[in-house]
Amino acid sequence: MSETQPIWIKDPLAILADGAERGVVVSEGHIVELVGAGQGPMTPGTAVFDATAHVVIPGLINTHHHFYQTLTRAMPAAMDRELFPWLKALYPVWARLTPEALDLAVTVAMAELMLSGCTTTTDHHYVFPSGLEDAIDIEVAAAQRLGLRVLLTRGSMNRSQRDGGLPPDSVVQDEDTILADSARLVAKHHQRGPDAMVQIALAPCSPFSVTTSLMRATADLAEKLDVRLHTHLAETEDENRFCEEIHGCRPLDYLEQCGWLNHRTWLAHGIFFNVDEMKRLGKAKTAISHCACSNQILASGCCPVCEMEAAGVAIGLGVDGSASNDGSNLMQEVRAAFLLQRARYGVGRVSHRDALRWATQGSAACIGRPELGEIAVGKAADLALFKLDELRFSGAGDPLAALVLCAAHRADRVMIGGHWRVIDGSIPGLDVTELIRNHSAAARQLQAG
């Protein structure tokens, strides 16, 4: 089957789309036809992929991550801690990151995401010790090797321990260096248009790790370069208290003062907003990445997604860092978000379809990519196909619901831009055994110091 030939993904077991009972046709990287019940494709010359054993959904989109943290999963020194002490335990370890270790960490994170049905991911890299100045370039290269669609954020910190911040002095950079490298990365890597595979956003780490000057300058630069903005906000009550003590206002007020409360911005976590703040977020078209697993592990709280959506706020999903999840499996994150929000709101307000929507259309809204996250004519041919041939699915009556309720965790096929990037549950050309061996060795070395 040639990937340059139109492909009919035929007769799926189930599909998350209306009017596509007999599947979809993809050509030249896009969905060109939905094939309804009792119909055949109108597109001439189609090859056929038999999807009778597959549940087909839009490719999942991960809106918050820290790839480098795959090197510090389940690290004893950081376990059973809340956010601030957790960061203090890990920053000295992350300060020892090398280019070689980062490349392994990024490859592991991206591969795990792809194998879970993810077709587009963001990353928030903000640690730049000496020798790791080209961290985002390393991430771009890994994404291009694997064929994963990415929005990589150029993170930053310029308030270290000597300035009253949390990170050690060795991982922060000065404002001029940060802004110059941000502009360099956008000029070198940022692609525009609906077929873009690599994009860059600007992402100061958090209100307690950067100066007001850098927050404002970053917003100005993002507007000048026409790129998106990202940061952590309202993740913990400690952060609220910090902003009130240092800046004399709540985090969202501070964000607005810095020129960030607008349609370019999406925020990680968004747990501790009040009703008025949610309305302001909705009016500004500022979106939220809900990180259910991380929020539970760090006991940070629970994002009020139903109130957010009622206020007009787009909600996406993010796996967050692998040191606070401690995985990069986006399909498992869908289930975690479903369970957490179902427990909060009840069976009448949250369904499995809501959780899938957050990870697809909601996530696409977070990153400003309306051509992603939906199976419809004209959208990108980014698809995840799951088989229900494991014990966990035996007896399932609704195949689509089974993905969430019965805990799907591994895609059988993943298509990105019309190209098969996962085939039979594997990434062609990637030696996973060797990757695990090298990555594990790098993690042991990093943690040992």
Q: Is 423 domain-assigned?
A: no
**Mean per-residue pLDDT over the chain, rounded:** 96
Token code pair at residue 116: 């879970």
Find the helix packing angle between 212-225 and 175-189, rounded to 10°: 20
Give the C-alpha separation, 126 to 128, whole Å. 6
Tokens 């957790």 identify what position? 86
- Report whether 305 contacts 332 (CB < 8 A): no
DSSP state of 248: S
Confidence of residue 323 (pLDDT cuts 50, 70, 90): confident
Q: Is 147 domain-assigned?
A: yes
Give the C-alpha separation, 209 to 244, whole Å. 15
Token code pair at residue 46: 């189609």
Confidence of residue 1 (pLDDT cuts 50, 70, 90): low
Computed on alpha carbons and rounded to an integer, the radius of gyration of the chain in Å comes to 21
Give the C-alpha separation, 362 to 305, whole Å. 11
Confidence of residue 166 (pLDDT cuts 50, 70, 90): confident
DSSP state of 5: S
Single-letter code of the amino acid located at 361: Q
> What residues contact 444, with CB distance under 8 A and at least 6 apart?
none
Per-residue pLDDT of 239-250, as tens digits, reads: 888 889 888 999
Token code pair at residue 322: 């692998």
Per-residue pLDDT of 206-257, as tens digits, reads: 988 999 999 999 999 999 999 999 999 999 998 888 889 888 999 999 999 9
Give the C-alpha separation, 29 to 54, whole Å. 20
Three-state secondary structure readout of 166-198: CCCHHHCCCHHHHHHHHHHHHHHHCCCCCCCCE
HSE-up of residue 376 (Cα within 13 Å, Cβ side): 9
Peptide bond into 326 cis (omega under 30): yes
Confidence of residue 3 (pLDDT cuts 50, 70, 90): low
Range of the domain at 148: 60-366
DSSP state of 360: I
What integer is the mean pLDDT of 370-377? 98
Beta bridge partners of 154: 125, 202
Give the C-alpha separation, 327 to 409, whole Å. 11
Give the C-alpha separation, 323 to 329, whole Å. 13
Give the C-alpha separation, 408 to 398, whole Å. 13
* pLDDT the model gives residue 219: 98
* pLDDT the model gives residue 422: 98
Q: What is the CATH number of the domain that holds 282?
A: 3.20.20.140
Q: Is 193 domain-assigned?
A: yes
Does 407 score more than 80 pLDDT? Answer: yes
Does 11 score more than 80 pLDDT? Answer: yes
Q: Is 220 domain-assigned?
A: yes
Per-residue pLDDT of 110-139, as tens digits, reads: 999 999 999 999 999 999 999 999 999 999
Does 2 score more than 70 pLDDT? Answer: no
- Report whether 19 contacts 435 (CB < 8 A): no
Q: How many CB atoms lie within 10 A of CB 213?
A: 11
Give the C-alpha separation, 62 to 50, whole Å. 28
- Number of domains present in the structure of the chain: 1
* pLDDT the model gives residue 108: 98
Q: How many CB atoms lie within 10 A of CB 29?
A: 18
Of 211, 247, 214, 244, the residue nearest 229 (C-alpha): 214
Does 418 score more than 80 pLDDT? Answer: yes
Q: Is 356 domain-assigned?
A: yes
Q: Is 25 domain-assigned?
A: no
* pLDDT the model gives residue 116: 98
Q: Is 252 domain-assigned?
A: yes
Per-residue pLDDT of 15-74, as tens digits, reads: 999 999 999 999 999 999 999 999 999 999 999 999 999 999 999 999 999 999 999 999
The torsion angle over the Cα atoms of residues 369, 375, 377 and 382, rounded to 10 degrees, is: 60
Confidence of residue 162 (pLDDT cuts 50, 70, 90): confident
Of 196, 268, 263, 186, the residue nearest 221 (C-alpha): 186
Q: Is 331 domain-assigned?
A: yes
Per-residue pLDDT of 251-300, as tens digits, reads: 999 999 999 999 999 999 999 999 999 999 999 999 999 999 999 999 99
